[in-house]
Amino acid sequence: MVKGTSLRGFWSSRLAFVLAVSGSAVGLGNIWRFPFMVGENGGGAFVLFYILCVFAIGLPIMISEVMIGRRGRRNPIATMRIVGEEEGSHAAWSLVGVMGIVAGFLILSFYSVIGAWTIAYLGHSLAGSFSHLPKEEIHDLFEALQANPLKVVVLHTIFMTLTVVIVGRGVERGLEKLVRFLMPALVFLLGLLLVYSIVAADFARGVEFLFRANFDALTPAGMLMAMGQAFFTLSLGMGAIMAYGAYLPEGTSISRTSFAVVVVDTMIAIVSGLIIFPIVFASGLDPAQGPGLLFETLPLAFGSMPWGWLLGPLFFALLLFAAWTSAIGLLEPAVAWSVESHGLSRRSVAIVIGVLIWALGLLTVFSFNLLADVRIFGGTLFDNIDHLASNVLLPLGGLLITVFGGWVMCKNSSADELDIGTGPAYRTWRFLARWVAPLSVLLVFLHAAGILSALGLV
Ligand code: PHE
């Protein structure tokens, strides 16, 4: 693929594609980001709105993104240009690809730091540090990590190196095989943890928090975050899915494949919530404590459950793999673009871009210590980078992608590429992609900017 020659038929099977896209989709977004976002935004109503966004906005956009990717068969920038020209439209559509690369850059910069925390916790769990610790000391463990920026920088360097190595070699080798057995292993382990939360923690309160919708708790900003989370968790709006779609063989159903990925991804997020919140309530922790939530709850479970000494390291190792396969998807568009358009060597490009992202990541490392007091719009540097990328750039990219798939691509092209005929399934997708998804993104943007209420519409 990346060698600049034929891109056709790269994934060995439909299953391989599903696994690769789920490898990109399932990651820290489901297990780390989803629970702490839910906690910060009051629970049930946020979850409900998030699920709505996933299916009404995320699914049609994912179908559009895969479809455009397979049509263009290049990196996102070239794909948008080529398919745009093919449809008699403007080459400026390639700017969507540029924006996606910027978003990937920003996201990977902090993603790698959370990957670093995960490595630190893998270390703690291997050393048996959680055993029977009370919640105060588990909290101190997290604080101690944040108070040690040098350690986080070292681990951040390791995480970025792991990512650069895979992307530098070309995604095709290794990724497929890896995801094929790690993903089911992660799901199995989450199943075990769920059993723990059901029998040993306050499952009833966790369920209530997660599913009882109190709409007063959902602010316009919370709605924007729920939508951003839908994009983030599905890896949408930045070209990652488009880049994978470029390798999808003809004759594979895009719609069914996307549906499968969306369902799996959503289930993993919900299960993570069902694991974490019962522990939060059983231990009297604060659900709204922010990015440390995962790291201050699960160790409590590992420290007290039978076999925790084994399950703890297994969990953090699998989480690390899940993060790693997502990080690869974040770096791939930028690298593929540099390689294909400038004929540079994949390895050196991956290294250069990796170093730049690593440097940007230092801002996130320091957001939790040296620069914790630097506030912009009331948030840390990390909050702002995350917000800009996840809640603004991804939805905006997704909006443009679905407008492209629904409006710029003519009916013949999209029907041909989706290959589901022009019956109800196709018409449903097209309606969602042309109207529901773009207008919903727009409305959430306007609402969060306070414009709907200023106009007296809500
Ligand atoms: N979807 C990944 C996760 O949930 C993050 C990601 C976003 C990966 C965008 C690639 C592109 O962890």
Q: DSSP assignment of 243-283, as one string?
A: HHHTTPPTTS-HHHHHHHHHHHHHHHHHHHHHHHHHHHHHT
pLDDT at 394 over 90: yes
Structure confidence at residue 174 as a pLDDT band (50, 70, 90): low
CA distances to 50, 147, 270, 289, 408 from 80, in Å: 28, 44, 33, 40, 11
Tell which atom from ligand 1 comes closest to the C-alpha of 323: 12
pLDDT of residue 171: 62
- State which of 179, 232, 261 you would mutate to test the pocket of ligand 1, scoring each by most atoms of that ligand within 8 A of its C-beta: 232
Paired tokens of 209: 């928090």
Q: Is 107 in the pocket of ligand 1 (CB under 6 A)?
A: yes
| Residue nearest ligand 1's atom 9 by CA | 235
Nearest to 273 by CA among 261, 285, 287, 260: 287
DSSP letters for 94-129: HHHHHHHHHHHHHHHHHHHHHHHHHHHHHHHHHTTT
Q: What is the pLDDT of residues 209-267, one digit of tens each?
A: 999 999 999 999 999 999 999 999 999 999 999 988 988 888 888 999 999 999 999 99
Distance 234 CA to ligand 1 centre (A): 6
Q: Are 290 and 91 in contact (CB under 8 A)?
A: no
Does residue 268 have its Cβ closer than 6 Å to ligand 1? no
The mean per-residue pLDDT over the stretch 48-67 comes to 98
Residues 260-277: tens digit of each pLDDT:
999 999 999 999 999 999
Residue 180 — pLDDT band, cuts 50, 70, 90?
Answer: confident
CA of 29 to the centre of ligand 1 (A): 6
pLDDT score of 176 more than 60: yes
23 or 152, higher pLDDT: 152
The Å distance, Cα 27 to ligand 1 centre, comes to: 6
Instruction: Look at residue 4 and tell me whether its pLDDT is greater than 60.
Output: no
24 lines ligand 1 (CB under 6 A): yes
Return the best residue to mutate from 24, 33, 264 for the ligand 1 pocket (most ligand atoms within 8 A of CB): 24
pLDDT at 205: 98
| Number of residues assigned to the chain | 458
- The residues near 327 (Cβ < 8 Å, ≥ 6 apart) are 27, 108, 111, 112, 115, 159, 162, 163
Over residues 351-362, mean pLDDT: 98
Query: How do residues 279-288 score in pLDDT, each as one tens digit?
Result: 999 999 999 9
**Confidence bin at 178 (pLDDT 50/70/90):** confident
Residue 257 near ligand 1, beta carbon < 6 Å: no
Q: 116-165, pLDDT tens digit by residue?
A: 999 999 999 999 999 999 999 999 999 999 999 999 999 999 999 999 99
Q: Note the pLDDT of residue 458.
A: 81
Q: How far apart are the CA of 216 and the centre of ligand 1, in A?
A: 29
Average pLDDT, the chain: 93
Q: Which of 110, 190, 90, 170 is nearest to 350 (CA)?
A: 170
Mutate to test the pocket of ligand 1, among 61, 235, 390, 392 (most ligand atoms within 8 A of CB): 235
3-class SS shares of the chain: helix, strand, coil, % to 5: 80, 0, 20
Residue 364 CB–ligand 1 contact under 6 Å:
no
Structure token pair of residue 173: 């080798």
Ligand 1 centroid to Cα of residue 52, in Å, is 19
Domains of the chain: 14-454 (1.20.1740)
Atom in ligand 1 nearest the alpha carbon of residue 234:
1
326 C-beta closer than 6 A to ligand 1: yes
Alpha helices in 54-93 (DSSP H): 59-72, 76-86
Q: Using a pLDDT cut of 70, give the percent of the chain over it.
A: 96
pLDDT band at 301 (very low <50, low <70, confident <90, very high): very high
The model's pTM:
0.95
* pLDDT category of residue 1 using cuts at 50, 70 and 90: very low
173 pLDDT band (50/70/90 cuts)? low
8 A C-beta contact, residue 99 and residue 397: yes
User: Quick one: pLDDT at residue 170?
Assistant: 77
Q: Ligand 1 in contact with 233 (CB < 6 A)?
A: yes
Report the share of the chain in percent with pLDDT over 90.
Answer: 85
pLDDT of residue 3 exceeding 50: no
- Cα of 232 from ligand 1 centre, angstroms: 5
Q: Is 232 in the pocket of ligand 1 (CB under 6 A)?
A: yes
The alpha carbon of 73 and the centre of ligand 1 are apart by a number of angstroms equal to 21
CA of 302 to the centre of ligand 1 (A): 26
Helix (H) or strand (E) holding 377: none
Number of CB atoms found within 10 A of residue 215's CB? 11
Ligand 1 contacts CB of residue 329 (under 6 A) = yes
Q: Using CA atoms, how far apart are residues 347 and 165, in angstroms rounded to an integer?
A: 8
CA 379 to the chain's CA centroid: 21
